[in-house]
Structure 1
Amino acid sequence: MSELASSQSPGSAFPTRRLMDGLFVLALAIGAGFALQRFGAYMDLYEKSFLVLAVPLFGWLGWQWRGLRNLQVAATLAALAAIALYQHDLARAEQVFLLKYFLSSQTAIMWMSALVFFATGAYWLGLIARAPFAERTGSAATWIACGAALTGMLVRWYESYLIGTDVGHIPISNLYEVFVLFVMITALLYLRYEQRYGTRRLGAFVMLVESAAVGFLLWYAFSRGAHEIQPLIPALQSYWMKIHVPANFIGYGAFSLAAMIGVAWLLAERGILASRLPSLELMDDVMYRAIAIGFAFFTVATILGALWAAEAWGTYWQWDPKETWALIVWLNYAAWLHIRLTKGLRGAMLAWWAVVGLLVTSFAFLGVNMFLSGLHSYGSL
């Protein structure tokens, strides 16, 4: 039996799970109804549609993965507690103990950052020392970090409206916010595979890219003041942003996960940590699944981006540097999947390709903003 398998029998768990699934969807519906009643005046038709569609979507995700359901519930309760403590006054973030040290958006994101570093160390200790307790600690810390990230984003969304109704927006509009999104999505993708394959031995590698992202996030926050909430620039005042950006970052997160599994594969193939890591076949399968999922979402994101461009600039494609590099990323992973599926190739070449693919993806995500200019220059450093 898998090290992560549940000890509860299916028969005894089924009625309880059905009840919890039903209560979860009911809570989602009540929450969506309350949001529509309370904040509907500030929403357009598209935002109301997204909110209504979120109920079956997140309900289905919660049914499929109880860990994600529990995360959503915990983060929602924490965010609601923060909202109640604010009492419509943003200044209370520095006056109320729970807000100042736990529940304000910036504090929650700092907890996320600390927990990511802690989880990275715990996973590596577990891998090197063959210590299951350290691995379980790393897994738990990663879950809590995801909860802190989701709480921080939800509370930041509310805080933006406390600044002004004309300032309020979903927190995925700048590099600071999307790095929080990237950390959370990548960690959740890893945790899903951790559960699916019943091993925590790959967490040490995946959390390295998470720690690097958090390192950039902290530098960006403290050196550039990027944590401050700013009004949306006109180019981002679009409903397309709310679906284009999350789809993009599921792709980025999956590609990053695949690259770090590729690093583990290459080390194990050379006999480094081979006795501590899962089999090459298992890692190859995780790498393939991650790239397949990432490619699907990145394709959707690219199509959505083209539709957004047509609305904003009157044309679907302008060979802007960001668009060009997005196409390069898409072609890179399309070729990877084509070779694996049609030629049946496995092994070192595809592992190296996945690793190099992360460099290409990183330049498309961050390098373009740093070194090139174009229609997407609003995301520059």
Structure 2
Amino acid sequence: MIAYYSSLAMVTSAVIYLLAMSAHALEWAAARRPEPALVPVGAGAPAEEPAAPDAGAGRGARFARIGVALTVIAVICHVAGVVLRGVAGQRMPWGNMYEFVTSSLAFAAIFYLILVLRRGWTWLGLPVTLLLAVGQGLAVTVFYVAVAPLVPALHSVWFIIHIVAAAVAGAAFNVGGIAAILYLIKARAEKRGPVTGYLAQLPSAAKLDDFSFRVLRFAFPLWTFTILAGAVWADYAWGRFWGWDPKETWSLVTWVIFAAYLHARVTAGWKGARAAWLAIIGVAVFWFNFIGINLLVTGLHSYAGI
């Protein structure tokens, strides 16, 4: 019964994330309305005034508030689903791909809400809720597996440390990747001339670039710790620290890409489009490592259960 309520909470969160994404899409659409035309004051007077007040900004703000409110409700359902999953299995809810996806997305959602509450960054709403709606939707439809006991190799405190670090790092990688994508969009718009519509409400391209760098700089040591904790766990479970298992190999590839990204920014002064594309490649490799390797390759980390 507890497992049923966990699944119900997860499905509910996916639906509400979709509604939140729709609200933020309407926010963007409202901001795309053109400015009101100017009309003369009087019959032949040259002075001009707005024909009508622009209601687009007001509508956009209302849709933004609706989107954030829906996201808060979705996150409550989401976290409840994760907790109930652990209660149902009488273990930490990180034993398969479904559980890792839902946990990592929960961290990403909480991180986003913290940014909204502390800095008012509702401009992240559409891309983040898109990620959450798609990710949670795939989790409850494609990745879902019934609650089951952990395989013997996962009975270790280092497994818990390893997975928590990976989930938090993954959440940060995704937020940093979203900021890198928004940077590319905003930078292209700025090169074309004055930025209008919703893009005008985004931070400047330079600030987006800096935000992406800060988030990825936070994620990188966590990912480093993830690999190190995984090595300790591997020695406990299989008697060796490193065995070039496909998941281990691609985790190292992900680490190398983000190490190159940070090194290029700090020492070579890489900023802008080159750094953004390298960050996006790193996030893409992270997801390939998680989904592609789990589904396409058999190895010691094949816990998807699908």
TM-score exceeds 0.5: yes
1:158 aligns with 2:87: yes
Q: Which residues of 2 match residues 283-298 of structure 1 at below 5 A?
A: 283-298=208-223
Bigger relative CO (Cα 8 Å, ≥ 6 apart): 2
- Does residue 142 of structure 2 align to residue 220 of structure 1? yes
Kindly state the Cα deviation for residue 227 of structure 1 after the two structures are TM-superposed: 4.1
- The corresponding residue for 1:39 is none
Which residue in the other structure is 1:253 paired with? 171
CA separation of 1:194 and 1:338: change in aligned 2, threshold 3 A: farther
Query: Hey, what does 1:308 align to over in structure 2?
Result: 233
Cα displacement (A) at 1:197 = 3.6
CA shift for structure 1 position 329: 0.5
Mapping of residues 37-76 of structure 1, within 5 Å: none
After TM superposition, the score normalised by the length of structure 2 is 0.83
Quick check: 1:116 aligned with 2:17? yes
Aligned-partner Cα distance in 1 for 2:302–2:170: 19
Find 1:186's aligned residue among 70, 84, 108.
Answer: 108
Aligned to 2:284: 359
Deviation at 1:117, TM superposition (A): 0.9
Percent of aligned positions with the same letter in both sequences? 33
What one-letter code is carried by the residue in structure 1 that aligns with 2:233?
Answer: W
Q: 1:143 corresponds to which letter in structure 2?
A: V
Amino acid at match of 2:12: W
Q: For 1:122, what is the secondary structure of its paired residue?
A: helix
SS at match of 1:274: helix
Does residue 208 of the first structure (1) align with residue 130 of the second (2)? Answer: yes
Report the 3-state secondary structure (helix = DSSP H, G, I; strand = E; otherwise coil) of the residue aligned with 1:316: coil
Contact 1:120 1:208 in 2 (8 A): yes
Which moves more between the two structures, 124-133 or 301-310? Answer: 124-133
Deviations 1:232-282 (A, max 9, x none): 111212222221111101111111111111111111112185323221122
State the alpha-carbon separation in 2 of the partners of residues 197 and 331 from structure 1: 32
Paired residue type of 2:64:
E
Question: What do the CA deviations read for 1:318-375 (whole angstroms, capped 9, x no partner)?
Answer: 1111000000001111111111122232111111122222211111111111222222
Question: How do 1:1-381 and structure 2 match up within 5 A?
Answer: 90=1, 104-130=5-31, 131-160=60-89, 168-220=90-142, 226-271=144-189, 273-379=198-304, 381=306
Pair 322,357 (structure 1): closer, same or farther in 2 beyond 3 Å: same
Point out the more displaced range, 236-245 or 359-368: 236-245
Q: What CA distance in whole angstroms lies between the structure 2 residues aligned with 1:153 and 1:206?
A: 19
1:262/1:287 contact within 8 Å kept = yes
Q: Secondary structure at the match of 1:201?
A: helix
The C-alpha deviation readout for 1:169-188, integer Å capped at 9, x for no partner, is 11111111111102111112
Conserved? CA contact 2:145–2:305, under 8 Å: no
Q: Give 1:196 deviation, angstroms.
A: 4.1
Is the contact between residue 193 and residue 286 of structure 1 (CA under 8 Å) also seen in structure 2?
no
* Contact persistence 1:240–1:308 (CA under 8 A): yes
The CA deviation string for residues 16-53 of structure 1, in whole angstroms up to 9 with x for no partner, is xxxxxxxxxxxxxxxxxxxxxxxxxxxxxxxxxxxxxx
Q: What secondary structure, in the 3-state scheme, does the structure 1 residue paired with 2:240 have?
A: coil
Structure with the higher fraction of residues in helix conformation: 1
What TM-score does the superposition give when structure 1 sets the normalisation length? 0.67
Structure 1: state its 5+ residue gaps.
1-89, 94-98, 161-167
In 2, the alpha carbon distance for the partners of 1:133 and 1:241 equals: 44
Output one character per residue of 1:72-96: Cα deviation in whole Å (capped at 9) or x when no partner: xxxxxxxxxxxxxxxxxx4xx6xxx
- One-letter amino acid matched to 2:82: M
SS state at 1:173 partner: coil
Structure 2: runs of 5 or more not aligned = 32-59, 190-194
Distance in 2 separating the partners of 1:341 and 1:194: 28
- d(CA) in 2 for partners of 1:337, 1:197: 25
Q: CA deviation at 1:291?
A: 0.6
Q: Is contact 2:95–2:303 with CA below 8 Å preserved after alignment?
A: no
**Cα offset for 1:229?**
0.8
Query: Given the superposition, is the C-alpha separation of residues 366 and 241 from structure 1 closer, same or farther in structure 2, using an over 3 Å criterion?
Result: same
Secondary structure in 2 matching 1:189: helix
Alpha-carbon distance in 2 for matches of 1:208, 1:360:
19
